[in-house]
Amino acid sequence: MNISKRNAGNSRITVLVTGARSPAALEWARLFNAAGFKVLAADSVPTSLCAASNSVEAYYRLPQPNACRNSYLQALEELIVAESVDWVWPTCEEIFHIAAGLQRLSALAMIFTEPLEKLHELHNKWRFIQKLEQWGWTAPETWLFDDPVSLQTFCSSFSSGELVIKPVYSRFASRVQFYDGSPPAFLPGEVSSHTPWLVQRAIRGKAYCTYSIAVQGRLLAHCAYTAEFTAGQGASIAFTAVDMPELEQWAADFAARERFTGQLAFDFILTADGVLFPLECNPRATSGIHLFQPDDSLPELLRKSLPPYQREDPEPVKTREKTAACPAPGRLVAIRPAMLLYGCAQIRSFNSLSRWLAYMFRGRDAIFRWQDIRPAWRQPGMMRMFWQIARNRRVSILEATTMDIEWNGEP
């Protein structure tokens, strides 16, 4: 299939958004639709937020990727061919399974991801920190353990500050523990050569997150934000865009050094004396995408930058004076149902109450739109679906939302 010929001129681009269950996928679907793209969506769950959206022309259910990756990739191939898909746009951890089949899928469409080997260097928290240390970049002191006895012995003998303990592969900070002298709460069987854990020296300071889009090492879009309310320890449910040039420069330097094409998200701590410590990387979509709006023109920037379209448009991409397109500082976004479910418990002062009210009544809701209201109605049904999975598998609801797509370093 000759993608460049099929897309010659100004014909409408068909984009397939995967990981359609997530609010981030819904945001991307709406941005693409507003830019005139034909938007399809796919996931391995019976229903999704994107399936309910009028920004999406059709929703397709695929096999569970971490149950049978080959079946997933085969179904994805068939869908790409049947619907003449031009771009495949992964958003959640299905990106790792798609990246594993990148060579076969790239013959059919533009797949917005790097190969799995390159993503693994970033998704694996130990490898990410090692990469930074090899470059001579600032990183928190980090130790790797593959057996519980050694980990517990190390923690017990550590006497100079607090420690953070977490698995090499995890999401939403759902397994993060802080060690302050009392025994860690993990079970011995959870730490092994197959499931190694990290210990990091805790860094005190202000937490920031970033989300960037890069093509061949150049940032096209970037945002930095604070996450003031979370579901659990790490899943952001309320966030504010901030102007932090040092974070944009860090992300730009990283993308350039890696010659990265795809989505990059980082978590940072900025200490009181101005030292920036990167903690981990997510090479996929995150909540930062909610801070962008159609007038930020992300799909158009991408259309002009991604092959084969750059051969059809020799003019350089014109963004703002900054390195990348960025959302307006101070922009507030919240997932309001989650703010009611999780955020209320985090109100501990008049200031936190004021911020909660600001997000609820002045911030933009990540899902609700008057012109596209059905995804908001779909949320209770999806919560019930993931609650049932959580109950059956004896995990948290957050963990249940990714159980069929998460990737923990398997071949």
Q: Which CATH superfamily is domain 206-365 in?
A: ATP-grasp fold, B domain (3.30.470.20)
pLDDT in tens, 261-289: 999 999 999 999 999 999 999 999 999 99
pLDDT of residue 309: 38
Q: What is the pLDDT of residue 235?
A: 75
341 Cα distance to chain centroid: 22
Q: Rounded to two decimals, what is the model's pTM? A: 0.90
Q: Which amino acid is at 52?
A: A
Please work out, in degrees rounded to the nearest 5, the angle formed at the alpha carbon of residue 290 by the alpha carbons of 127 and 371: 150
Q: What's the confidence (pLDDT) of residue 183?
A: 60
Question: How long, in residues, is the chain?
Answer: 411
Mean pLDDT by 10 residues, the chain (411 residues): 36 94 97 97 96 98 96 98 97 98 96 97 97 97 92 82 88 76 61 90 94 96 91 79 96 97 97 96 95 94 76 40 78 89 87 89 92 95 93 89 93 83
Rounded to the nearest 10°, the torsion over CA 357, 363, 367, 371 is 120
What pLDDT does 152 receive?
Answer: 84
Residues 6+ apart with CB under 8 A from 201: 140, 141, 142, 161, 162, 163, 164
CA 199/CA 212 separation, integer angstroms:
27
Would you state the pLDDT for residue 399? Answer: 87
Fold (topology level) of 1-113+373-411? Rossmann fold (3.40.50)
